[in-house]
Amino acid sequence: MKLLTRALSACVLLAAATVAQAEVAVIVNAAATAAPSQSDVANIFLGKDKSLKGVDQKDWNPTKDKFYSAVASKNESQLKSYWSGLVFTGKGQPLPSVADDAAVVAKVGAEADAIGYVDKAAVTDKVKVLFTLP
């Protein structure tokens, strides 16, 4: 029952399908001057710091899992619970999200104040790597 439930859960299925090995790169626009630290990045992606526009990944995938566990010590359920707390107190909305690494790179490459996280292999010269999460 438990396995069946999980297998049918679209989000979890994606996470289970690939095993995370690659490094996760936190990226900003190539022309960006801001260089937020890891704790600044946590604040941006938890909606507490709006100085840069966080671009989230839509589905729960290994890159997203690694990013949130590394910068915010949160797994998928905890992140959902965190945002529920903000949504239902009217204090915030989850960040806008795009489909995958390529879409994050495209958006961050196009917007000067955007920040995202992708698999290191997806990084192009339009974006600058702030730091990587092993």
Token code pair at residue 28: 């900003």
Confirm if 76 and 10 have CB atoms less than 8 A apart: no
Instruction: Tell me how far apart the alpha carbons of residues 99 and 4 are, in angstroms, rounded to a whole number.
Output: 26
Give 8 or 19: the residue with its C-beta nearer to another protein: 8
Interface residues with another protein (CB under 8 A)? 4-5, 8-12, 37, 39-40, 42-43, 47-51, 56, 58-60, 69, 72-78, 80-81, 84-85, 87-97
Token code pair at residue 19: 């095993």
Give 23 or 56: the residue with its C-beta nearer to another protein: 56
CB of 54 to another protein, least distance (A): 9
DSSP character at residue 9: -
CB of 52 to another protein, least distance (A): 10
Instruction: Tell me how far apart the alpha carbons of residues 92 and 84 are, in angstroms, rounded to a whole number.
Output: 9
Give 4 or 121: the residue with its C-beta nearer to another protein: 4
Instruction: Tell me how far apart the alpha carbons of residues 99 and 57 are, in angstroms, rounded to a whole number.
Output: 6
CB of 40 to another protein, least distance (A): 7
Give 86 or 122: the residue with its C-beta nearer to another protein: 86
CB of 125 to another protein, least distance (A): 28
Q: Which of 70, 79, 78, 72 is nearest to 131 (CA)?
A: 70
